[in-house]
Amino acid sequence: VAGYLDQIKTYAHLNAFNEVFADEAAAQAKQVDERIKQGVAGKLAGMVIAIKDNICYEGHKVSASSKILSDFTSIFSSTIVKRLLAEDAVIIGRCNCDEFAMGAANENSYYGPVHNFADTTRVSGGSSGGSAVAVQANMCHAAIGTDTGGSVRQPASFCGMIGFKPTYGRISRHGIIAYASSFDQVGPITRSVEDAALLYEIMAGADEYDSTLSRKAVNAAPVVADSSKKRIAYLQEAVSSRGVDTEVKAALVNTIDKLRADGHTVEPISFEYLDYLVPTYYILATAEASSNLARYDGVHYGYRSPEATDLQSTYKKSRSEGFGKEVKRRIMLGTFVLSAGYYDAYYAKAQKVRKLIRTKTEEILNQYDFLLVPTAPEPAFEIGKGETDPVRSYLADIFTVQASLAGVPAISLPVGNNSKGLPLGLQLLAKHFAEQELFNFAEYFL
């Protein structure tokens, strides 16, 4: 803990943490040391973890990197925090992220952008950018993020780390600040597949406070490297499209060649709904967000405008002053697609398209063991130089939202750096509940 705290101080300019629980983490570490001596320590004894600042931890602030929650203290712990602490993890702090987890660069935070440790002029990725950089810059052993449409996998790939999103319905969201509930998942960012599997195993499994969870038994750790021959599909468009960076393509092609040379069957597939992935995701995610964020009304939670004079002005002014630009954009978009005159044309239609995407993805994963795609179309870009057109920046989520729409597990794995020294990542998708197969095969890439 002392070593990580030093590192956090040295690299404070990366802006990875919204708050460091220094004294508390040191005290927790002492207690864990004691339990190790007594031989009664849990499975995470010695593991120092950072959590994304949208995960509730009793008695600690939780802001979702928003002004509207900047002074909010959680009165209970999320199920995952309880499970991590029960196994003797030490929680070292809460990490910066995009406001309400909306973004893919960590540039939408009330607390400012997070800087990539590989090149501090570049973004960390998002929305769990602080969590990814905390691991990348050795400020903790592992971090927990949330992934609605790629927010664990994409920052992990921008930072050269491993990012894992489980099957929808494996890890409890009780105590996670909701963004889009039919997508939101919790996932670890780690340096090893072993750690990802262990953290997954401890966090996953039924919880009476999250009714979406499966009761299936959870099995993941220990990871046993799988050397059997696999059938793997890759997305043809990822290699042929002009929208994908040439070095990202090269990383994919090299991996395909290596897999083939090692005797695996690797075949191109074309995904007929590719152009509909991003629009479908953004219609549904913003609709759900507009509903979830209705609770921040200046009365129940968080910030209340000092200018408010009556109920209407409390709502209007607190929300206008408390939410950032991107969050407001999404609330408006989501409210629009849910409004009476447009519901059938957008929201209901997107639900149907989602079903098609899910069915088609399942078909592919029934024919193949895994689907291999890049995590992102390009590596980390320069801070402030990202796309100013929101639609174009949403399109950069093209490779991560498929697993989110289909609810299947996916892992982003680091596959080296580009010519500028920026990390590149590839993603493996697997069948629902095939986490163990995913972890066992992931070892091949490292």
- Is residue 131 a contact residue for ligand GLN (CB under 6 A)? no
Q: Does residue 210 sit in helix, strand or coil?
A: coil
Give me the catalytic one of 78, 109, 124, 151: 151
Shortest distance, position 325 Cβ to ligand GLN, whole Å: 13
Of 105, 378, 410, the residue nearest 238 (C-alpha): 378
CA distance 139 to 141: 7
Binding piece for ligand GLN, criterion CB under 6 A, among 149-157, 197-205, 227-235, 305-313: 149-157
The span from the CA of 205 to the CA of 222, in Å, is 17
Nearer to ligand GLN among residue 221 and residue 398 (C-beta): 398
Nearer to ligand GLN, 5 or 80 (CB): 80
Q: Would you give the binding string for ligand GLN spanning residues 227-266, x where CB under 6 A is met?
A: ----------------------------------------
Using CB under 6 A as the binding criterion, the count of chain residues that bind ligand GLN stands at 13
The neighbour count for residue 64, using CB atoms within 10 Å, is 31
Give the count of beta carbons closer than 10 Å to the beta carbon of residue 43.
15
Binding of ligand GLN at residue 99 (CB under 6 A)?
no
Question: Is 151 in the active site?
Answer: yes
Closer of 29 and 203 to ligand GLN (Cβ):
203
107 binds ligand GLN (CB under 6 A): no
Q: Which helix (H) or strand (E) holds 238?
A: helix 236-240
- Which region among 71-79, 102-110, 111-119, 421-429 touches ligand GLN (by CB under 6 A)? 102-110
CA distances from 369 to 91, 208, 216 (A): 36, 32, 20
Q: How far is the CB of 45 from ligand GLN (least distance, A)?
A: 31
Instruction: Look at the alpha carbons of 60, 65, 70, 76 in this order and tell me if their dihedral is positive or negative.
Output: negative
Of the pair 130, 149, the CB lying nearest ligand GLN is at 149
Selected catalytic residue, list 52, 165, 230, 317: 52
Question: Is the Cβ–Cβ distance between 89 and 203 less than 8 Å?
Answer: no
Q: Which of 78, 96, 116, 127 binds ligand GLN (CB under 6 A)?
A: 127
From the list 73-81, 144-152, 364-372, 425-433, the region that binds ligand GLN by CB under 6 A is: 144-152
What are the φ and ψ backbone dihedral angles of 187, each rounded to 5 degrees? -155, 155
Residue 78 interacts with ligand GLN (CB under 6 A): yes or no: no
Does residue 147 interact with ligand GLN by CB under 6 A?
Answer: yes
Spell out the residues 6+ positions from residue 98 whose beta carbon is closer than 8 angstroms to its own. Answer: 65, 104, 105, 106, 107, 108, 109, 126, 127, 129, 151, 326
Does the N-terminal peptide bond of residue 222 adopt cis geometry, omega within 30 degrees of 0? yes
Is 148 a binder of ligand GLN (CB under 6 A)? yes
In the bound state with ligand GLN, the residue whose beta carbon lies nearer, of 46 and 386, is 386
**For residues 305 and 363, what is the distance between their CA atoms, to the nearest angstrom?**
51
Q: How far is the CB of 151 from ligand GLN (least distance, A)?
A: 3
Region 393-412 residues binding ligand GLN, contact defined as CB under 6 A: 397
Write a three-state SS string for 156-187: HHHCCCEEEECCCCCECCCCECCCCCCCCEEE
Q: What are phi and psi of 18, to 5 degrees?
A: -85, -30
Q: How far is CA 134 from CA 22, 139, 364, 424, 434, in A?
A: 15, 5, 35, 18, 28
Residue among 171, 212, 163 at smallest CA distance from 188: 163
Q: Judged by CB, which is closer to ligand GLN: 4, or 179?
A: 179
Q: Which is nearer to ligand GLN, 179 or 296 (CB)?
A: 179
Largest CA distance in the chain: 71
- Nearest-approach distance from CB 378 to ligand GLN, in angstroms: 14
Position 101 contacts ligand GLN (CB under 6 A)? yes
Contact pick of 103, 302, 409, 414 for ligand GLN (by CB under 6 A): 103
Closest residue to ligand GLN, based on beta-carbon distance? 151
**Piece of 96-104, 210-218, 265-273, 332-340 that binds ligand GLN (CB under 6 A):** 96-104
Question: At which residue do the structure tokens 């900047």 appear?
Answer: 70
- Region near ligand GLN per CB under 6 A, out of 27-35, 143-151, 303-311, 362-370: 143-151
187 sits near ligand GLN (criterion: CB under 6 A): no
CA within 13 Å, CB half, 430: 20
Catalytic residue chosen out of the listed positions 65, 77, 109, 127? 127
Q: Which active-site residues does the annotation give?
A: 52, 127, 151
Which residues would be at the binding site for ligand GLN (CB under 6 A)?
101-104, 127, 147-151, 179, 285, 397
